Amino acid sequence: MFKYILKRIGISILILLGVSLILYILLRCMPTDFVEQKILALYTAGVDVSPEFIEEMYKSYGLNGTILEGYFSWLWNFVRLDFGTSFISHREVLSDIFNPGRLGTSFYVAAIATVFEFLIAIPLGITAATHQYSFIDYLVTVLVLIGISLPSFFFGQMLKDLFANKLGWFPVSGMGDKTVSLTGTAAFIDYLRHMFLPILTVVILSIGGRMRMTRTNMLEVMNADYIRTARAKGLSEGKVIYKHAFRNTLIPIVTGLAGLIPSLFSGAMITETVFDLEGIGKYALNAMTQGDIPVIMTYNMFLAFLSVLGVLMSDLMYGIVDPRVKLA
């Protein structure tokens, strides 16, 4: 086991290096960059900008060399845990990305949505599989299609228009009522009212894939010989389904956990933008549109690290879920 973990750590380091190189090249090959946008803004304001000034700006932001020179300069600083300064805010990148309020908002939305996703999707997927071609099965199929097909910006805007604008049950946007000063329980309730629609959007759009995966794997297991044997021995249907059949569908579910860890911290970019939440997703999207390379690189490398960690943890979980799996 220890040897396996060391080998995976070595492979993970190579993967992270490859991800960082590809990501940096893509960022530097964007049609426009941060300096170009600043210069265009100066031109629009009627300021005469000299070539020397433009060259000095590119140099000050570290964008004057070749792409490979810029990458190795970034990598050297990254190894020394120097993540740079944001082009936009001129603050340390780590303090911007790991801002407790910003990261906490995205984490709470993702964590609560994930809990409800599993609580809703897995039982519905099992029910659909055990009642194949019934009304429940067709209803679950419809929910799956809704969750997979609807874009988050459309569905979020639809919920906001119905429940906030027309019915007035929930606030339109933001994370709290800034017109009044609330404390204690009142502030907490106000926070929940503002977060309900964003969380509902994420839950409904995410349960579809989880339900489909659970249903598909349950149907495959339900036709196995050992399930028929368990029924022939007189075991109750509940034991057959939840003790024998469902346990053997856990490997695909554990595989899905690999993407769970980064999703808790990546933020829902579009949803946060629709509901005007000050989360890490909205912040990263703003950095991307303005070409803030230090922020984008640090943010994506953080997610890449969490993804690699999630894959490693899911591999280790295989041995717990299925004793037949041997890690070497």
The boundaries of the domain holding residue 9 are 2-97
Domain count, the chain: 2
How far is Cα 70 from Cα 152, in angstroms, rounded to an integer? 35
User: Is there a single domain that holds both residue 205 and residue 276?
Assistant: yes
Tokens representing 94 are: 């780590």
How far is Cα 50 from Cα 44, in angstroms, rounded to an integer? 15
Question: Which has the closest alpha carbon to 171: 202, 193, 186, 203?
Answer: 193
For 268-306, give one letter per residue: b (16+ CB within 10 A) or e. bbbbbbbbebebbbbbbbebbebbbbbbbbbbbbbbbbb
Q: Among 75, 97, 119, where does a domain finish?
A: 97
How far is Cα 192 from Cα 4, in angstroms, rounded to an integer? 44
Phi, psi of 98 (to 5 degrees): -95, 30
Within 10 angstroms of residue 102's Cβ, the number of other Cβ atoms is: 21
How far is Cα 121 from Cα 123, in angstroms, rounded to an integer? 6
CA distances from 69 to 14, 25, 48 (A): 20, 11, 30
- Residue 156: the pLDDT is 85
User: Is there a single domain that holds both residue 136 and residue 21?
Assistant: no
Q: Note whether residue 9 is domain-resident.
A: yes
Question: Which has the closest alpha carbon to 106: 301, 262, 315?
Answer: 262
Within 10 angstroms of residue 151's Cβ, the number of other Cβ atoms is: 10
User: Is there a single domain that holds both residue 157 and residue 218?
Assistant: yes
User: Is there a single domain that holds both residue 59 and residue 193?
Assistant: no
User: Is there a single domain that holds both residue 150 and residue 221?
Assistant: yes
User: Is there a single domain that holds both residue 85 and residue 171?
Assistant: no
How far is Cα 14 from Cα 158, in angstroms, rounded to an integer? 43
Within 10 angstroms of residue 236's Cβ, the number of other Cβ atoms is: 11
CATH of the domain at 152: 1.10.3720.10
User: Do 28 and 70 meet the contact criterion of CB atoms below 8 Å apart?
Assistant: yes
How far is Cα 309 from Cα 15, in angstroms, rounded to an integer? 12
User: Is there a single domain that holds both residue 76 and residue 125?
Assistant: no
| C-alpha 295: how far from chain center | 17
Tell me the pTM: 0.78
Q: Among 97, 131, 150, where does a domain finish?
A: 97
| C-alpha 296: how far from chain center | 15
Three-class secondary structure of residue 65 per DSSP: coil
User: Do 215 and 245 meet the contact criterion of CB atoms below 8 Å apart?
Assistant: no
In sequence order, the β-bridge partners of residue 85 are 92
How far is Cα 325 from Cα 114, in angstroms, rounded to an integer? 27
- Residue 316: the pLDDT is 72
Q: Encode the chain (328 residues) as per-residue pLDDT tens digits.
A: 677 778 778 888 888 899 999 999 988 888 878 888 888 888 877 777 788 888 888 888 888 878 888 899 889 988 888 888 888 888 888 888 888 778 888 888 888 888 888 888 888 888 888 888 888 888 878 877 777 787 888 888 888 888 888 888 888 877 776 666 767 777 778 778 888 888 888 888 888 778 888 888 888 877 777 777 877 887 777 777 877 777 777 777 767 676 777 777 776 778 888 888 888 888 888 888 888 888 889 988 888 888 888 777 777 776 666 656 566 5
HSE, side-chain direction, 13 A CA sphere, residue 319: 9
User: Whole-angstrom distance between the N-terminal and C-terminal Cα of the chain?
Assistant: 7
User: Is there a single domain that holds both residue 55 and residue 76?
Assistant: yes
User: Is there a single domain that holds both residue 165 and residue 295?
Assistant: yes
User: Is there a single domain that holds both residue 200 and residue 112?
Assistant: yes
User: Do 202 and 155 meet the contact criterion of CB atoms below 8 Å apart?
Assistant: no
Q: Among 50, 66, 97, where does a domain finish?
A: 97
Q: Note whether residue 227 is domain-resident.
A: yes
User: Is there a single domain that holds both residue 143 and residue 244?
Assistant: yes
Angle, to 10 degrees, between the axis of helix 184-222 and the axis of helix 152-159?
Answer: 130
Question: Which has the closest alpha carbon to 106: 198, 209, 206, 189?
Answer: 198
User: Is there a single domain that holds both residue 112 and residue 64?
Assistant: no
- Residue 177: the pLDDT is 67
Q: Note whether residue 326 is domain-resident.
A: no
